[in-house]
């Protein structure tokens, strides 16, 4: 099934219930503290899913967990051997994923399924169906218009929903989405020309609704031309509190570390953990030498990688304009601040 369909909002829960029978379901849920977070839905009948707030997390951690076991090892009787974890990821439908977070997954695919096929990531990714939700109303810190990663997407999803008041316009992306639609076709009716036109109208209105005015292109160009003075890195690095919050909340930050955890004298597990290039220990070598001068350069790699190196390598920045780092950084060293400073003469 190609093309555009309509799902009445009255049928959303029934549709989700059907797909939940064969799939784990992940969607933005309001927890008891009032936080909206992408979470696994345990009981759909009582799940307070929330599509009017920006989820505080992206869906990165479902594919690239904050900590995961990449091997178990044993070392005894002259044998030192490693075994891959045997757990198979569950088939999972991610529902209500915003354009920025979908673009972030496309970026992660480049990292983990490019030249190197990371088995841990790929296993989870192959079991995923991504259902996007276009953004009619960008949130306070959003600037995906500047990073060309929203608010409406043309690809990167299996299905994409657009809120049209009492119904959703449903667009088919990849094969998995078409199959899902075909399987549950009783919920969908073909969209009228008017409804399809309405999506275009909504996308134009969304573009006009951004509160921030971020000139990412200008900053990218100045970085490429070497026009960003060292003083900017220095002044921002001095304000960085070394908390790693920006990297952890960022849906495209994928730097990691690998550590062994001893479980007994002769066996243990090897873990992969999120890491942040802003940490002083990120580049410190055995013996103490550090090629990055932490006080003056700690944030340089972060912004160079996102706005310059990845543009060179992949054709687009690895910032998707979700704005989450703006709120999380108490040093004010977020990417919006940097882009503004880099653009000034």
CA distance 25 to 13: 12
Query: What is the contact surface with another protein in residues (CB under 8 A)?
Result: 70-71, 73, 75, 78-84, 111-112, 115-120, 254-260, 262, 266, 268, 270, 275, 277, 282-287, 289, 291-293, 301, 304-305, 308-309, 312-313
Closest CA to 336 of 211, 216, 210, 207: 216
- Give 191 or 246: the residue with its C-beta nearer to another protein: 246
CA distance 80 to 335: 45
CA distance 43 to 20: 10
Contact 122/173 with Cβ under 8 angstroms? no
Structure tokens at 160: 């994409």
- Give 174 or 314: the residue with its C-beta nearer to another protein: 314
To 10 degrees, the CA torsion angle through 176, 178, 183, 187? Answer: 130
- Give 98 or 305: the residue with its C-beta nearer to another protein: 305
- Give 56 or 283: the residue with its C-beta nearer to another protein: 283
Shortest reach from residue 285's CB to another protein, in Å: 5
Rounded (10°) angle between helices 99-112 and 119-126:
140
Shortest reach from residue 218's CB to another protein, in Å: 20
Using DSSP, state whether 163 is helix, strand or coil. Answer: strand
Shortest reach from residue 41's CB to another protein, in Å: 31
Shortest reach from residue 141's CB to another protein, in Å: 25
Shortest reach from residue 75's CB to another protein, in Å: 4
Shortest reach from residue 175's CB to another protein, in Å: 24
Shortest reach from residue 111's CB to another protein, in Å: 6
Using DSSP, state whether 85 is helix, strand or coil. Answer: coil
Shortest reach from residue 281's CB to another protein, in Å: 8
Give the pairing of strands 4-8 and 167-172: antiparallel
- Give 13 or 284: the residue with its C-beta nearer to another protein: 284
- Give 19 or 223: the residue with its C-beta nearer to another protein: 223
Q: Percentages helix, strand, coil for the chain, rounded to the nearest 5?
A: 40, 25, 40
Using DSSP, state whether 76 is helix, strand or coil. Answer: strand
- Give 61 or 75: the residue with its C-beta nearer to another protein: 75
For 254-266, the DSSP string reads --EEEEEEEEETT
- Give 75 or 218: the residue with its C-beta nearer to another protein: 75
Q: 98: Cβ–Cβ under 8 A, 6 or more apart, which residues?
A: 54, 55, 132, 133, 135, 150, 322
- Give 179 or 232: the residue with its C-beta nearer to another protein: 232
Shortest reach from residue 131's CB to another protein, in Å: 27
- DSSP E strands in the chain: the ranges are 4-8, 24-30, 36-40, 67-76, 79-83, 92-98, 128-133, 159-163, 167-172, 188-190, 256-264, 267-274
């Amino acid at each position: 099934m190609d093309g555009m369909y309509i799902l009445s909002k009255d049928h959303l829960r029934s549709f989700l219930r059907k797909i939940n029978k064969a799939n784990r379901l992940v969607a933005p849920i309001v927890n008891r503290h009032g936080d909206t977070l992408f979470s696994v839905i345990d009981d759909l009948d009582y799940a307070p899913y929330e599509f009017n707030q920006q989820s505080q997390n992206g869906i990165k951690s479902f594919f690239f967990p904050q900590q995961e076991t990449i091997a178990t090892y044993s070392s005894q009787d002259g044998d030192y051997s490693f075994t891959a974890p045997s757990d198979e990821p569950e088939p999972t439908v991610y529902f209500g994923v915003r354009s920025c977070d979908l673009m972030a997954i496309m970026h992660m695919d480049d990292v983990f399924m490019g030249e190197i096929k990371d088995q841990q990531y790929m296993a989870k990714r192959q079991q995923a169906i991504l259902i996007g939700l276009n953004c009619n109303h960008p949130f306070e810190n959003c600037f995906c218009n500047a990073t060309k990663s929203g608010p409406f997407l043309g690809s990167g999803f299996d299905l994409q929903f657009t809120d049209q008041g009492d119904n959703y316009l449903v667009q088919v992306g990849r094969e998995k989405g078409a199959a899902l639609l075909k399987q549950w076709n009783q919920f969908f009716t073909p969209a009228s020309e008017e409804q399809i036109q309405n999506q275009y109208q909504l996308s134009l209105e969304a573009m006009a609704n951004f509160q921030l005015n971020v000139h990412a292109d200008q900053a990218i160009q100045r970085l490429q031309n070497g026009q960003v003075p060292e003083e900017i890195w220095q002044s921002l690095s001095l304000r960085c509190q070394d908390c790693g919050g920006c990297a952890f909340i960022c849906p495209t930050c994928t730097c990691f570390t690998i550590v062994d955890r001893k479980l007994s004298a002769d066996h243990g597990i090897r873990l992969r953990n999120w890491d942040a290039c802003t940490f002083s220990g990120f580049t410190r070598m055995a013996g103490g030498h550090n090629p990055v001068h932490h006080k003056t350069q700690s944030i340089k790699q972060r912004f160079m990688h996102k706005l310059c190196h990845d543009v060179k390598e992949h054709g687009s920045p690895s910032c998707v304009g979700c704005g989450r780092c703006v709120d999380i950084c108490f040093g004010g060293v977020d990417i919006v601040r940097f882009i503004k400073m880099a653009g000034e003469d």
